[in-house]
């Protein structure tokens, strides 16, 4: 026996698949002769792999990167196993067996992980080399180990630490990675993320791996005119209220009305990525009108000033600004945080 249909949510998230495809195609073109892959970890950077992976695949992407093995089943619904790579590699023999059973390719990050792969009888894999970020990846000093020569490496990759800045670190990492080819035999080499693509085709090698900018993030100024907004959140008005002079709004009474006001309580809060730092000085929008946020963001609600928008009614959806660069600058959050904290309470539309 099934229950009644779930009512529509008080939160909506529009995902512009055409903008997503445009962004991949723009980054692919900027990569020169190297095709662009797609980082789709963290559930497609918070937008849902069921929405973003089919759109990226249709646009032409053929290499998809996730962080965890737990992310693999969702991708297998949409793309073949040999197009999926797991960046965190292999923690143990069980993960190696899972990789072999599915055909998904691990990105090996250490001699210990190489040992897991060889011990399981592993075939084609990828290899991450640390060229200076000191995160995941084999140290350069380990590349001469005899176990590396036993691997069948498809993609040898590294990751840029400061590509979003004009830093001498970029050229140093480029030089270090160029030297890797003399130590590691691989079919392809890959270095550039979204920001790295904007540094120029010297960084592209045989494959680029954009992430943030696929979803509307501006990783460097050179991308500002090429990347389109992908995510468009909206939140519903739960209640309208009339205030008089002296009425305070929200926790700790941080806002007090100086005179008569019409305000709306709106269904968005922490679990929807609308953190407290996004409140001060911010506004939602309706029909092009800015509706300033009053007082503090609370757990599941905010209050906005609708005095200048008398047509606002309970049940109306308000637009939540989501220009990632501007919101990051205003809130102090990173563009990555804005995307990946959106949460699961939105009804997603395309």
Instruction: Give me the active site residues, please.
Output: 41, 251
β-strand pairing of 64-66 with 84-86:
parallel
**Residue 135 CB burial class (10 angstroms; 0-12, 13-18, ≥19):** exposed
Structure-token pair, residue 225? 């005119």
Q: Rounded to whole angstroms, how far apart are CA atoms 181 and 123?
A: 20
Give the other-Cβ count within 10 Å of 146's Cβ: 6
Structure-token pair, residue 126? 């990828």
**Residue 143 CB burial class (10 angstroms; 0-12, 13-18, ≥19):** middle
Write the DSSP assignment of 177-209 as a string of letters: HHHHTTT--EEEEE---HHHHHT-GGGTTTBB-
Structure-token pair, residue 197? 């693509």
Beta strands across the sheet bearing 105-108: 38-39, 64-66, 84-86, 105-108, 124-128, 152-157, 186-190
Closest of 126, 201, 203 to residue 162, by C-alpha: 203
Beta strands in 202-276 (DSSP E): 231-243, 248-249, 255-256, 261-266
Alpha helices, H only, 6-110: 17-30, 41-45, 49-59, 72-76, 93-102
3-state DSSP assignment of residue 149? helix
């Amino acid at each position: 026996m099934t229950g009644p249909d779930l009512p529509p949510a008080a939160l909506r998230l529009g995902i512009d698949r055409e903008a997503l495809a445009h962004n991949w195609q723009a980054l692919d073109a900027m990569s020169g002769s190297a095709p662009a892959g797609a980082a789709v970890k963290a559930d497609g950077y918070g937008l849902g792999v069921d929405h973003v992976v089919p759109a990226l695949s249709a646009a032409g992407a053929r290499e998809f990167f996730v962080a965890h093995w737990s992310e693999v089943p969702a991708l297998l619904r949409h793309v073949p196993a040999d197009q999926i790579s797991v960046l965190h590699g292999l923690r143990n023999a069980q993960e190696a067996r899972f990789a072999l059973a599915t055909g998904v390719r691990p990105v090996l990050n250490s001699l210990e992980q190489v040992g897991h792969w060889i011990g399981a009888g592993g075939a084609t894999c990828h290899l991450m080399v640390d060229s200076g970020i000191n995160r995941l990846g084999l140290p350069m000093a380990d590349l001469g180990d005899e176990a590396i020569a036993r691997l069948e490496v498809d993609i040898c990759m590294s990751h840029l630490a400061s590509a979003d800045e004009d830093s001498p670190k970029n050229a140093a990492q480029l030089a270090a990675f160029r030297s890797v080819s003399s130590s590691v035999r691989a079919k392809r080499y890959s270095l550039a993320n979204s920001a790295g693509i904007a540094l120029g085709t010297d960084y592209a090698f045989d494959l680029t791996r954009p992430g943030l900018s696929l979803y509307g993030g501006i990783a460097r100024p050179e991308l500002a005119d090429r990347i389109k907004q992908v995510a468009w959140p909206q939140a519903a008005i739960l209640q309208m209220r009339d205030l008089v002079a002296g009425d305070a709004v929200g926790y700790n009474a941080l806002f007090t009305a100086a005179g008569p006001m019409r305000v709306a309580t709106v269904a968005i809060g922490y679990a929807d990525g609308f953190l407290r730092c996004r409140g001060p000085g911010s506004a939602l929008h309706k029909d092009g009108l800015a509706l300033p946020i009053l007082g503090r963001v609370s757990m599941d609600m905010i209050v906005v000033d609708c005095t200048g928008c008398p047509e606002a009614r309970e049940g109306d959806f308000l637009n939540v600004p989501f220009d990632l660069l501007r919101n990051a600058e205003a809130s102090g959050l990173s563009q990555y945080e804005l995307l990946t904290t959106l949460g699961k309470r939105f009804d997603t539309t395309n």
